[in-house]
Structure 1
Amino acid sequence: MAAARWVLVVNAGSSSLKYQVLDAASGETAASGIVERIGGAGRIEHTTDGETHEQDVTCHDHAEALDAARAALREHGPDLATLDLFAVGHRVVHGGPDFTEPALVDDDVLAAVEELVPLAPLHNPANLEGIRGARSTFPDVPQVAVFDTAFHQTLPPAAHTYAVPKAWREHHRVRRYGFHGTSHRYVSRRTAELLGREPEDCNVIVLHLGNGASACAVRRGESVDTSMGLSPLEGLVMGTRSGDVDPALGAYLQRVAGLDGTAYDTALNKESGLLALAGVSDLREVESRCEAGDEDAALAVEVMVHRLRKYVGAYAVLLGRVDAIAFTGGIGENSAMVRREVVEGLGILGVELDHGANDAGDPERVVTTHGSAIPVWVVPTNEELEIARACLTVVEGQGSR
């Protein structure tokens, strides 16, 4: 049996810090948790051995949030001091054009990630705080940055190039980057495994649907197109993000409503999507309102599903051959209604929904009939395991040099 390779995976948000302790060799999860409301009076929720422990904590910054996580691990297990921690893996949202693979964190990598803050002002600063806090807390443990954008660095120029002035593209790094790459990588590979094929012999359309949502066309294990662009705003309808809009909208609203760039950006990121259409951003509430006859909620679902079908159709043409479609993420894994509405609109592709399988079954399952031309799978994502595996590859690779 292979020796355990325990990894602490850290996903730092602006006011929260999610963490998980798992064995990169076996995939076993020992504990997971989240510290919320960083910046003052916060709260930690820690789960291990099927039990969840909650506690109020004071966390002024991400370093103190990590201290709270370590305290919870000491009290409820496993104690990192006795675990022989192999690495700390960090989710970093934006890696720009240069980070095509996970990277062992050093001062140069930190400086490069900081330079990318203008591309991801809502995410990279928090990711940096998480890394700095972990380097201080675990000074002798290798730290690995795993970038959401890295999986999409295989996009061909036709897919990642915007038809905008050359100066924008060359001097301001304007292009399609794509996000959710860790999830798309894991789910596309797991789907190939479920089909009994190698990723290099498989074309998959992955729909990562949660409060943030993106579609990805994966050809032979590589991302060849994805719905998110320069930022996570482009593409599908999301909880509070608009997804695709006419690029002229900003200038129009400036003329008629006096809306400046900051207000426009805030509105599209935090006040749009399902929230703008239905009045709530949580799809579970949207579904409940639909069932109660709420017309706004019904329209929100129609707009969301219409956009999803468009992307699936476009990616089917792009790939030429589709071996599977995979739903993942909180909505993709749990909303039978969204899967039904999307799949029932794919008849032209020969897709046939199995209503019974769609409504209930194992978390990982096929939801189409045996006669369906393309199988549709529900595949729970495991970004933490993918990050831990990346740590294993990077650290062991570094040691073999």
Structure 2
Amino acid sequence: MTATVLVINSGSSSIKYQLVDPEGGQALASGLVERIGEAEGHIEHKAGGQVTERYERVSDHGEGLRQVLALFEEVGPDLAEAGIVAVGHRVVMGGSAYDGPVRIDDDVLGVIEELSPLAPLHNPANLTGIQVGRMLLPDVPHVAVFDTAFFRNLPDDAATYALDREVAEKFSVRRYGAHGTSHQYVSAKAAEMLGRDDLKQIVLHLGNGASASAVVGGRAVDTSMGLTPLEGLVMGTRTGDIDAAVVFHLARNGGMSVDEIDNLFNKRSGLKGLTGENDLREVHRLIDAGDENARVGLGVYTHRLRKYIGSYAAVMGGLDVLSFTAGVGENDDVVRAGAVKGLEFLGVEIDLEKNQVRSKEPRVISPDGARVTVMVIPTNEELAIARQAMSLL
């Protein structure tokens, strides 16, 4: 019987899941429960080439996961016959506690909860998914795989903020990063495809959340997200890098509370704050219609990408591979072209025809013989989580 792993990614109002064959790399089933707690929820289950959809209220995560298990029983594949050996849970923040996957027990749950202030939008939701999953599937081991684990051993030069050391140590202030599972998967895939394990790589994970990493020989040496997932690149609704004194300015002169500024930086800024839209497809539509704010917003977005590419090439002392991944990175040829514009002096350029190809397969989009190989590599965090869970067990 094939050994499988059920991967659960629990968000604040959603649950993504996949039943994965870690050895073969196939997803035997996948789905999404969204709009949890709203008047009408949406459930989508894909298995055996068929898609089953339901529109009904999903009161909470417990109800959502019960619906998922019922769909496995009703539509398939039957979990009782699927050979599940583990349930793998995505957890965003592992802090300094974890540099790899860990089997979940009550002590691990306690640590995840303690770390919630460092990822307030993510860890509480991840924790809920774990608690419900353990309750509904009590007979298989549950494994936590942390977004921060790949960056746990960043060099001190990259991980340390220039903050009073006693304050930093007391409140665990350092760069933790995020999206590590994706960065690890994509950098390893690039090394595999090119047949080299000594590569100097930059990975750009561009979705609604966005992050960059510098990876040398398979080891992360820098990353754009910091204490929380707010720092770094311009994102769908997050500011990314911003002068910390903006907080003091808005508090003193704008009369804004800490919670209001938190909401502003995390939910009302980024592309949404600049253009009114957090979906780049809509931003492109606005640009085509002559919207100047959208044009400037996209310019800010790609300018930040170029800054990170240049700085990470300097950190590594060179660059062999630049990879784009995640929803925007994999599908938006305009963003990819904008990100590398003017970087020919680094050996970074793309072939316009290759760049415009739409594919779900990993591919090279730089010209033949280019000094830097530019790639598009679809991420597969679920497969990476499943394989890490299996490696632990």
Smaller-chain TM-score bracket: over 0.9
Match of 2:22 among 11, 15, 24: 24
Partner residue, 1:239: 236
Q: Measure, in 2, the Cα distance between the counterparts of 1:117 and 1:368.
A: 41
Find the counterpart in structure 1 of residue 374 from structure 2.
Answer: 376
- Distance in structure 1 (CA, Å) of the matches to 2:238 and 2:118: 17
Q: Which residue is equivalent to 1:393?
A: 391
Give 3-state SS (helix, strand or coil) of 2:152's partner.
helix
Q: 2:46 is matched with which residue?
A: 47
Alignment partner of 1:87: what SS? strand
- SS of 2:379's equivalent in the other structure is coil
Query: Which residue does 1:305 correspond to in 2?
Result: 302
In the other structure, the counterpart of 2:92 is 93
Match of 2:108 in 1: 109
State the secondary structure of the residue aligned to 1:55: strand
| CA–CA separation in structure 1 for the residues paired with 2:257 and 2:130 | 33
Please show how residues 132-281 of structure 1 align to structure 2 within 5 Å: 132-198=131-197, 201-281=198-278
Counterpart-to-counterpart distance in 2, 1:111 and 1:209 = 31
1:345 deviation in Å? 2.3
Residue 32 of structure 2 is matched in structure 1 by: 34
Deviations 1:294-335 (A, max 9, x none): 111110110001000000000001111322000001000000
Q: CA deviation at 1:292?
A: 2.0
Tell me which amino acid in the other structure corresponds to 1:370.
Answer: D
**Is 1:73 the equivalent of 2:72?**
yes
The whole-number CA distance in structure 2 between the counterparts of 1:351 and 1:372 is: 8
Task: Give the Cα separation in 2 of the matches to 1:211 and 1:316.
Answer: 24
TM-aligned CA deviation for residue 379 of structure 1: 0.2
Aligned partners of 1:323 and 1:374 also within 8 Å: yes
Preserved CA contact (<8 Å) 1:352 1:371: no
Flag as ranges the 4+ runs of structure 1 deviating above 4 A.
none
Shift of the alpha carbon at 1:219?
0.8
TM-aligned CA deviation for residue 352 of structure 1? 2.5
1:343 corresponds to which letter in structure 2? Answer: V
Greater mean alpha carbon deviation, residues 66-75 or residues 36-45: 36-45
Q: Secondary structure at the match of 2:8?
A: strand
SS in 2 for 1:86: strand
Contact 1:4 1:26 in 2 (8 A): no
Q: 1:42 to 1:361 in 2, by over 3 A?
A: closer
Indicate the residue corresponding to 2:11 in structure 1: 13
Distance, in Å, in 1 between the alignment partners of 2:349 and 2:245 is: 39
Aligned position for 1:353: 350
The two structures have a TM-score, normalised by structure 2, of: 0.97
> SS state of the match for residue 17, structure 1?
strand
Identity %: 53
> What's 1:4 paired with?
2
TM superposition shift of 1:361: 4.9
Aligned-partner residue type, residue 333 of structure 1: E
Could you tell me whether the CA contact under 8 Å between 2:2 and 2:82 is conserved in 1?
no
Distance 2:376 2:334 in 1: 13
Q: Is the contact made by 1:5 and 1:392 (CA closer than 8 Å) also made in structure 2?
A: no
Cross-structure match for 1:339: 336
SS in structure 1 of the partner of residue 54 of structure 2: strand
How does 1:281-296 map onto structure 2 within 5 Å? 281-296=278-293
Gaps of at least 5 residues in structure 2 are: none
Contact 2:331/2:358 (<8 A) preserved: no
State the aligned residue count: 391
- SS of residue paired to 2:265: helix
1:371/1:83 CA distance change after superposition, 3 Å: closer
Q: Report the AA paired with residue 34 of structure 1.
A: L
CA RMSD of aligned residues (A): 1.2
Contact map agreement 2:3 2:82 (CA 8 A) in 1 = no
Q: What secondary structure sits across from 2:202 in the alignment? A: strand
1:77 positional shift = 1.1
1:194 offset after TM fit, Å? 1.2
Q: Which amino acid aligns with 2:32?
A: I
For structure 1, the 5+ residue unaligned runs are 396-401
Task: Tell me the TM-score normalised to structure 1 length.
Answer: 0.95
Is the 1:287–1:297 Cα contact (8 Å) retained in structure 2? yes
Q: Which amino acid aligns with 1:29?
A: A
- 1:70·1:79 contact (CA, 8 Å) conserved in 2? no
CA distance in 1, matches of 2:78, 2:66: 12
